[in-house]
Amino acid sequence: MAFIYDEPSRTFGEYLLVPNLTTKDCVPANVDLTAPVVRFKADPGATPPDPRLAPLTMSVPVTSAMMQSVSGADLAIALARCGGLSFVYGSQGIEEEAAMVRRVKNYKAGFVVSDSNLRPDATLGDVLELTDRTGHSTIAITEDGTPTGRFVGIITSRDYRLGKTPLSTPVREIMTPFKSIHCGKVGLDLQEANELIWRHKLNTLPVIDERQHLQYLVFRKDYESHQAHPLENVDHEKRLIVGAGINSRDYRDRVPALVEAGADVLCIDSSDGYSEWQGDTIAFVKSLGKPAYVGAGNVVDREGFLYLVEAGADFVKVGIGGGSICITREQKGIGRGQASAVIEVAKARDEYFQRTGVYVPICSDGGISQDYHITIALAMGADFVMMGRYFARFDESPGRKVRVNNQFMKEYWGEGSNRARNWQRYDHGDTSKKKDQLEFEEGVDSYVPYAGKLKDNLDVTLAKVRSTMCNCGATSLRDLYMRARLTVASAVSIHEGGVHDVMLKDTRGNTREP
Ligand code: RVP
């Protein structure tokens, strides 16, 4: 006989947080958003345990969805620099995905591989042409003109006078030669590079190896940008942390390539993770010589969570059908309101921790349509959230920026749309026929309003999260989960929470109905 739940399944927009006493030390500057990414052992007396015990953490509890229109290398770099974590999309060739992971791992904040280089026998005319083309006025001079050739000098606009210095003048006659340049030795860190920049009043510090070959340039302005990212999510070698999506079909080839490329954590991308295919995939990852972390999902209930945890998942993703571009519920009638799913799975996670002393973080995936939904998800027990639509709006996402009805938009398409053709995500492991497309779509192709730079937006979103946490008397995510009091809001009280009974002014002072 079918089981029918007593409660309707609910979503974030149906709940409100009720404030607790805000103590004087409870100010946004004191809020710590550190979240665990993967499973760890701790004293079950302390539920939830200190997230810093996890072998992999992030400074802010936000991840970007493994989707073609969301998580490429640029977005992964921008998000890790802000303290979050991207999962590079797996619905692409193995080599292509590994190359994206490598790009993120090789990114060295503040250390730039010189992109404007000439040989000493080039002329001032070449310098001007290159400056025009790249927009960069600092040109490294190397013996062979490559970015990592033997470093012999540098040329900037201060080395020549336009209109006075003949265009045919060889660079070697006007450049600042190596012997007059302060250089850093490869291996120095950004702090040390900055010391040299200040001590010698430099704008640029070339970094060379023991053979005098150029490795990087460090610019004074880039150090300042680094200072603006105090929460950067980095590994013990100070490389940015990055995740990567895998599927339960080609994991035997994909996983080793991604681990080799340096992925810090993997995640199986599937619309329904309560399946034996995921069990097999996790077992394979865990059987590798090299230790690798793997998240699994998505599930929406206790049984799904326990299945994946017992199979060895390092974190579990929660949510079916709540994504902004997702039509799984309409097409197949499966899924669950995101809030109900998170509440049940968080309870199962806590019980499992009490029983075993192993804490397995959960990620609330999809359905965040307002910034405050992040706080609600965390208050309900999610360790971190995953978002697609949110990130697709930014400069760093892979989608095209287009003008629609006089407004700038970015393209955002679901992995279950015919555009993405990510059939592995929806596949049930049927090997009887070779598939290269979906039998029916579970996602749409859409536009989202263009919103500028990731950092500018995420800073505001997280300011709201920190502020609400202070209302709730919480300075950490553990505090929030332990203390939060939530109430279901009636449809009328949700209406009351919006603008009502006033005439709104537009920017010209005219009025419009709310
Ligand atoms: P949202 O943030 O609401 O845009 O949701 C993003 C999530 O939606 C993804 O992390 C994924 O779980 C899910 N998704 C991705 N593609 C599709 C689809 O085509 N149905 N759904």
User: Domain for residue 387, yes or no?
Assistant: yes
- Do 448 and 402 form a contact (C-beta atoms < 8 A)? no
Nearest atom in ligand 1 to the alpha carbon of residue 366 is 5
Ligand 1 pocket, CB under 6 A: 65, 67, 323-326, 328, 365-368, 386-390, 414-417, 442-443
Element housing 154 (H / E): strand 151-155
* Residue 326 designated active-site: yes
User: Domain for residue 97, yes or no?
Assistant: yes
User: Residue 367: helix, strand or coil by DSSP?
Assistant: coil
User: Domain for residue 513, yes or no?
Assistant: no
Range of the domain at 287: 15-51+61-108+230-489
Q: What's the whole-number mean pLDDT along residues 486-502?
A: 93
Q: pTM for the full model?
A: 0.85
Predicted confidence at residue 115, as pLDDT, reads 80
Nearest atom in ligand 1 to the alpha carbon of residue 326 is 20
Instruction: List % helix, strand, coil for the chain (3-state, nearest 5).
Output: 35, 20, 45
Q: What is the CATH number of the domain that holds 180?
A: 3.10.580.10
* 274 beta partners: none
User: Residue 223: helix, strand or coil by DSSP?
Assistant: helix
pLDDT reading at 366 higher than 80: yes
Q: What's the whole-number mean pLDDT along residues 311-322?
A: 98
Residues 6 or more apart whose Cβ sits within 8 Å of residue 453: 78, 394, 395, 396
Predicted confidence at residue 431, as pLDDT, reads 62
CA of 366 to the centre of ligand 1 (A): 6
Region for residue 500 given its phi and psi (left: phi exceeds 0; alpha: psi -120 to 50; beta: otherwise): beta
Same-domain check for residues 483 and 423: yes
Q: How far apart are CA 349 and CA 36, in angstroms?
A: 13
pLDDT reading at 334 higher than 80: yes
Residues 6 or more apart whose Cβ sits within 8 Å of residue 406: none
* Residue 26 designated active-site: no
Which of 223, 244, 271 is where one domain is finished?
223
Which listed residue (26, 82, 326, 472) is catalytic?
326
Predicted confidence at residue 513, as pLDDT, reads 57
pLDDT reading at 48 higher than 80: yes
CA of 329 to the centre of ligand 1 (A): 12
Residue nearest to atom 21 of ligand 1 (CA): 326
CA of 408 to the centre of ligand 1 (A): 22
User: Domain for residue 159, yes or no?
Assistant: yes
Predicted confidence at residue 440, as pLDDT, reads 86
Predicted confidence at residue 433, as pLDDT, reads 55
Helix locations, 232-388, DSSP H: 251-261, 276-287, 302-311, 328-332, 338-356, 371-379
> Model confidence at 429, in pLDDT bands (50, 70, 90)?
low
pLDDT reading at 86 higher than 70: yes
Q: How far apart are CA 466 and CA 455, in angstroms?
A: 16
Q: What's the whole-number mean pLDDT along residues 454-479?
A: 98
Q: What's the whole-number mean pLDDT along residues 483-504?
A: 93
Predicted confidence at residue 436, as pLDDT, reads 63
DSSP annotation of 150 = B
Which listed residue (349, 425, 466, 478) is catalytic?
425
Same-domain check for residues 41 and 159: no
pLDDT reading at 428 higher than 80: no
Predicted confidence at residue 434, as pLDDT, reads 58
Predicted confidence at residue 350, as pLDDT, reads 97
